[in-house]
A and B are shown apart, each in its own frame.
Chain A
């Protein structure tokens, strides 16, 4: 698997501020390959999440391209891009992202049930993930019964359940204590070891210890950073 972002730029219109155009991501260049873990650091508002959303096919860039194994994902129709995201890209969004009418297990299996292709293997892997992330006992619980950390781990399991080629994690340890942070970062490292490309946006400096590469975003400009 190879993800290439080329000249990736995103501009927003901000009419309330003095200048009309605001460049959130400026000509970003990035290549990620399967088995690799990259972490992206940067201050709030530096464009990290915007970059991640563009890599996930969730936000159309103003210019530039994102290709996955040679396929320009923004040349696909919404239906095709959605299916690609469902099959190949796991996304862990910021904050709490549960469907409240579903149980924890149903939330985790959502990528399968959305396309009616749930299998026994998928169920077994989902159970394994819940076990691995220490929320198996909450499988039948509703999201309203879970703590912030548990919800975050549920979102991680949901992003990983399809064994995606590319896993994009936006502040995956944001709601977690130190021990769970280490657990989650170890888990993401294991996913990369199994062949996925893992891209982590974080403020957690220790995350670099679990990554092959570190990147930094400053005012929309993406640069390679030295691992500390």
Chain B
């Protein structure tokens, strides 16, 4: 029953216990959800880095000045732009290029898979080194003409037929989730996307009315050759080609990384602030409660409780409260994070990929540990005060 005394004390003061549990739930939710969000942003950024898959991306200069390229890559907004293949050929003659592959972009009007416009990305299977290795994870063979693979967030499945600008394509595979703008994109080989670009022009639905699909390139992906740095090669391209802009992917990611650093810092400060606030409120609550119950603690001393036993009772109450609040907080956190991850991604406008189950479990354990630590600190201070009190004086009502 001694061990049950802590439980009975908690049950005997339901309002106080409920307030403590709610407080620890808030503490646990904040630490857990905050940590998972920061982890998701980091995973999203890592995923973006590996998905971009090239050292340098070369796009028409106007695409970078309008920010449409950056928004396309980072925020998932749709867009397309073209440069003439002669411009591309000139770029391709730059010294220091190792791997090189061209990509072709198109944005659809609404398709059967989607209520909004989707980004269509075409690649050259002969030279591609960025998209193909990733697609191969979900799809064993090469894409045929009029076959596409779709991002994980699109409402289309293998075997579905989609129509873009009146041209029908078949979904050959669905990709695994990346947490990046690629989750809402459609991928096709060069042959297929050129047909789609042609259809869009024929229907008068392409902003670039005078573009020749056979001579249009949207983006050139470059991996530098050994002995050259991406910075050198990108500078060389930018100096000698005024119509294009070479962007280092690291530069692109570092922008996001800076934003992520800012968000992480804010979330970190928020977590720390809530933790400190929670610990202080727990301390105040435990101290107030201990003061209110000082006569009960004095009685326990009278019947033979050592200072250690008194501290044990306070610690047990704190531990039960914090564990209960911590676990409920994790459950609430999961209920918020899992169904609303899309909304969180939209609000943050940053790559966002939920970590795996193992890492989520670690975050949960860390949140429960942080909550328990706050409770333990509050309980330790409270226990120190209780055990230092003069039992005789309390029983006489002097204290």
Interface residues, chain A, with chain B CB atoms under 8 Å away = 49-50, 53, 56, 58-59, 78-79, 82-83, 85-87, 91, 93-102, 106, 109-111, 113-116, 118, 158, 170
Shortest beta-carbon distance, B6 to chain A, in Å?
A: 9
B205 within 8 A of A: no
Q: Given the complex of chains A and B, what is the CA–CA distance between A94 and B305 in angstroms?
A: 18
User: Closest 3 interchain pairs by CB?
Assistant: A86-B304, A101-B12, A53-B392
A114 and B299 in contact (CB under 8 A), knowing A87-B304, A102-B8? no
- A79 to B310 CA separation, bound complex (whole angstroms): 11
Smallest beta-carbon distance B143→chain A, Å: 70
Given the known interface contacts A95-B397, A109-B1, the answer about A78 and B296 at a Cβ–Cβ threshold of 8 Å is: no
Given contacts A58-B392, A114-B305, contact A101 B299 (CB under 8 A): no
**CB distance B309 to A82 under 8 Å?**
yes
> A58-B302, A114-B304 are known contacts; what are 10 more A-B pairs with Cβ within 8 Å?
A58-B392, A83-B306, A95-B295, A97-B298, A97-B395, A100-B296, A101-B13, A106-B1, A115-B2, A118-B1
B8 touches A116 (CB 8 A): no
Q: CB within 8 A of A58: which of B8, B296, B391, B397?
A: B391
User: How many Å from the CB of A202 to the closest CB on chain B?
Assistant: 15
Residues of chain A with a CB closer than 8 A to B2's CB: 113-116
Complex Cα distance, B5 from A170, in Å, reads: 26
The answer for the CA separation of A49 and B94 in the assembled complex, in Å, is 98
Q: Which residue of B lies closest to A118 (CB)?
A: B1
Can you identify 9 A-B contacts, CB atoms within 8 angstroms?
A58-B392, A59-B390, A82-B307, A97-B298, A97-B395, A99-B296, A101-B5, A116-B2, A170-B395
State whether A79 touches B392 (Cβ < 8 A).
no
Residues of B within 8 A of A (CB): 1-2, 5, 8-9, 11-13, 295-296, 298-309, 390-392, 395-397
- Name the distance in Å between B238's Cβ and chain A's nearest Cβ: 75
Q: Chain B residues near A101 (CB, 8 Å)?
A: 5, 8-9, 11-13
Q: Give which listed residue, B307, B309, B390, B397, contacts A114 with CB less than 8 A.
A: B309
Known: A94-B395, A101-B11. A115 touches B296 (CB 8 A): no
Which residue, of B1, B12, B395, B397, has the highest number of chain A Cβ atoms within 10 A? B395
B392 to chain A: which residues have CB within 8 Å?
49-50, 53, 58-59
Q: Is the CB of A78 within 8 A of B302?
A: no
Task: Chain A residues near B307: list those with CB within 8 A.
Answer: 78, 82
Which residue in B8, B11, B296, B304 is a CB contact (below 8 Å) of A85?
A: B304
- A93-B302 CB under 8 A given contacts A49-B392, A59-B392: yes
B7 to chain A, nearest CB (A): 9
Rounded to whole angstroms, the CA-CA distance of A49 and B11 in the bound complex is 34
- Tell me the bound Cα distance from A86 to B301 in angstroms: 9
In angstroms, Cα B303 to Cα A87, docked, is 9
Closest to A112 in B: B1
B395 contact set on A, CB distance < 8 A: 49, 53, 58, 93-95, 97, 170
Whether the Cβ atoms of B396 and A82 lie closer than 8 Å is no
Please determine whether A115 and B5 come into contact, CB atoms closer than 8 angstroms.
Answer: no
